[in-house]
Structure 1
Amino acid sequence: MYNIYYFPTSYGWYFTFVQGFVYITLIYIQGFTTKQMMNPWKIYVKLSAVLMGSQGLTKGSLAFLNYPAQIMFKSTKVLPVMVMGAFIPGLRRKYPLHEYISAVLLVLGLILFTLADAHTSPNFSMLGVIMISGALIMDAFLGNLQEAIFTMNPETTQMEMLFCSTVVGLPFLVPPMIVTGELFKAWISCYEHPYVYGVLIFEAMATYVGQVSVLSLIAIFGAATTAMITTARKAVTLLLSYLIFTKPLTEQHGIGLLLIAMGIVLKMVPEPKIPSWNAVQNAVVKQSKSTFNIEKNHIGSDETLDNDEKRSLI
């Protein structure tokens, strides 16, 4: 969009603001009302601030980063999500070593595959790097906060999560738009190019389906697994484009696919169940009691035999 309409600067906050109203409209059409809420509004304040910040910075970074550079950064999302899970209250999730290795292999494979497909080298603008890095940090908090809400209250629905976080989050977008002057600049630019709103509405409708799907995955499998699924989805999309349009696959593509496959297979390996120290102690105690009972019964049987022998002698 930035390349087509030659926008002079980033309008990420404004675009996110417009698409937020599209989300609310779609949720309202599906029949969700505030009477169906299972959580108080205050729970969604922190989540909403992180959500809007992530979306605004991601869209805004497109004005300063080209496609390969942004993919390189966004592909690493699963790693901060896994690390941040250990610090979220109500979650405190820790992952086994093989899942971290799986995530690293998946990230490296997707980066190699993407760079092999890119016709231009990554273009790193310092402002763009700062914006996309901030978006990654907020994404790490976002997925884990959503998982924590689903975990603490399993009756929370995906519609409630998306509706409340959007409604509460929209006011957070107003201050940065006013301070940077983006609100008035974006309004004038979009007024001169009204087709932009059509693109934003279409994109919002598509991302709405994606948001609901991602929230469903988080509720069922957790934030880290969802991040790995979305990362693998990017690889599948790129691979299908090669199969459908018969593009040539290079050696770098093959290495990337191999790393992705290794990461997915490693993720599917079941975690070995190592017994806890309490379980070991209980097993030892049970074994000791069992041995003691056997010996006691054996001694009792010996005494019975001795008594029988004495009676026979008498």
Structure 2
Amino acid sequence: MVTNRKGRGGGGPPRPRVVDGSGSGGGGSMASRVAVLAFCVAGIWSAYITQGVLQETLSTKRFGPEARRFEHLAFLNFAQNVVCFVWSFIMIKLWSSGGSSTGHAPLRKYWGVSITNTIGPTMGIEALKYISYPAQVLAKSSKMIPVMLMGTLLYGVKYTFPEYICTFLVAGGVSSFALLKTSSKTIKKLANPNAPLGYTLCFLNLAFDGYTNSTQDLIKSKYPKTNPWDIMLGMNLWGTIYNAVIMFVAPLLFSNWPYANGFEALKFCQENPEVAWDITLFCLCGAVGQNFIFLTISRFGSLTNTTITTTRKFMSIVVSSVISGNPLSLQQWGSVVMVFSGLSLQILLKWKKKKGRDHKG
């Protein structure tokens, strides 16, 4: 996720004054700040919950008179790359101040990190062939686990007891959810039910995302004038190229290409316009959601954004259970609550740490 807080002078979109997320500081009256915060919450929730419903629909529903599945889920990432590339290009042109590009990261700097940014999300979305959407959301919410493991084992980082409690709650919740029996109704929707493979793909997704995020941070620190739209443009440009090669060039070179085939995906969309519409809306939700994330970070800080996105994930599971017909047992709901209790405690600890720094400052 892009979290750069760039000002107007760097040629990016105009940035309101960044506040610390603690509810104090500039940015207008309390009423106007509450209104903007509510607007951000509504935007992030509506965009990403809708995107989740569409993602689940495309991965589980059968389309057309022959009741066929849309097997080329990785095509969603290609389409998302194209839409986000165009979207970021438009935003840069709209908000550019016409200043020099000196200090901005050149596009070539994104080619390496875009490889992991192509592989990671593909693994995450392919996991929906093997596990349910609620299971995927829970698994992808546990990124603190590999972070703490790597920090402890490789770098000797010392964590506090409450931080270990957070990790225990998240790990315990995800593990218990995975071990509990999934309803037969949910299993019938999956293309190839295989929980170990599905969870493995999700955790690999987290590992690749961790590398992607840390590399983006390095790019931003090396090129301080780089703004979120620059990163969005560079990442999605290379992602479009990589996915185009994988989905359109490789199938022409290899007759038995085992991976997602872009030509077959386009043919499926042509035969089933409903799928084409869902994919288009899926991509637009992702692009619009990024706008609200940038606005939230610029106005209220990254910690507020983390709080909003965490609660959004919980609501996505609720919506999936109610609307998409993925019934969860009482024990599974207990696992869900366990995971989000750990995530909530983690956010609370960050808020307290931030307040402590603010008081010292």
SS in 1 for 2:344: helix
| 2:127 and 2:202 in contact (8 A); partners too | yes
The answer for the alignment partner of 2:210 in structure 1 is 140
2:253 alignment counterpart: none
The yes-or-no answer on 1:173 pairing with 2:276 is no
Q: Distance in 2 between matches of 1:165 and 1:87?
A: 30
Counterpart pick for 2:337 among 242, 246, 257: 257
* Aligned pair partner of 1:96 in 137, 159, 166: 159
Shift of 1:106: 4.0
2:84–2:233 contact (8 Å) kept in structure 1? yes
Instruction: Quote the residue 1:277 is aligned against.
Output: none
Change (3 A) 1:142 1:230: farther
Return the alpha-carbon distance in structure 2 between the equivalents of residues 110 and 21 of structure 1: 33
Larger helix percent? 1
1:19 matched residue in structure 2: 80
Equivalent residue letter for 1:143: N
Aligned match of 1:287 = none
1:4 aligned partner: 62
Shift of 1:39: 0.8
More divergent stretch after superposition (230-239 vs 49-58): 230-239
In 2, the alpha carbon distance for the partners of 1:242 and 1:193 equals: 26
Q: 1:186 aligns with which of 242, 260, 265?
A: 265
Aligned-partner Cα distance in 2 for 1:126–1:253:
20
Task: State the distance in 2 between where 1:127 and 1:14 align.
Answer: 20
- The number of residues matched between the two structures is 265
Out of 255, 258, 277, which is 1:198 matched to?
Answer: 277
Q: Is the contact made by 1:52 and 1:169 (CA closer than 8 Å) also made in structure 2?
A: yes
Aligned in 2, Cα 1:145/1:260: closer, same or farther, shift over 3 Å? same
Q: Distance in 2 between matches of 1:4 and 1:254?
A: 31
Give the one of 67, 75, 87 matched to 2:133: 67
CA distance in 1, matches of 2:224, 2:151: 18
Contact residue 135 and residue 177 of structure 2 kept, 8 A: no
Q: How has the CA–CA distance of structure 1 residues 132 and 84 changed in structure 2, closer, same or farther, with 3 Å as cutoff?
A: same
**1:102–1:266 Cα contact (<8 Å) kept:** yes
Distance in 2 (CA, whole Å) between partners of 1:171 and 1:87 is: 36
Partners of 1:151 and 1:73 in 2: CA distance: 30
Aligned mates of 2:207, 2:229 — CA distance in 1: 24
Choose 1 or 2 for highest CA Rg: 1
Identity %: 21
Letter in 1 for 2:205: A
Deviation at 1:206, TM superposition (A): 1.2
Q: TM-score, normalised by structure 2?
A: 0.57
Q: For residue 61 of structure 1, give the secondary structure of its aligned residue in structure 2.
A: helix
- Quick one: structure 1 residues 258 and 198, their matched pair in 2 at CA, closer, same or farther if it must change by over 3 Å? closer
Deviations 1:187-244 (A, max 9, x none): 221221123222112111111233455567889548xx9778644432255569999x
Q: Letter of the 1:194 partner, please give it.
A: P
Do the aligned partners of residues 239 and 255 (structure 1) sit closer, same or farther apart at CA in structure 2, a change above 3 Å counting? same
SS in 2 for 1:42: helix
Structure 2 equivalent of residue 79 of structure 1: 145
Aligned position for 2:114: 48
Alignment check: 8 A CA contact 1:143 1:218 kept: no
| Aligned-residue offset at 1:180 | 3.1
Distance 2:275 2:143 in 1: 29
User: What's the RMSD between the two structures over aligned residues?
Assistant: 4.5
Gaps of at least 5 residues in structure 2 are 1-57, 188-192, 251-256, 355-361
TM-score by length of 1: 0.64
**3-state secondary structure, aligned to 1:142:** helix
Post-superposition offset of 1:154: 3.8
Shift of 1:248: 11
Contact 1:50 1:141 in 2 (8 A): yes
Structure 1 CA distance for aligned equivalents of residues 123 and 75 of structure 2:
11
In 2, Cα distance between the equivalents of 1:187 and 1:142? 29
Are the aligned partners of 2:104 and 2:224 in contact in 1 as well (CA < 8 Å)? no
Structure 2 residue aligned with 1:207: 286
Distance 1:251 1:60, change over 3 A: closer
Q: What's the offset of the Cα at 1:68? A: 4.1
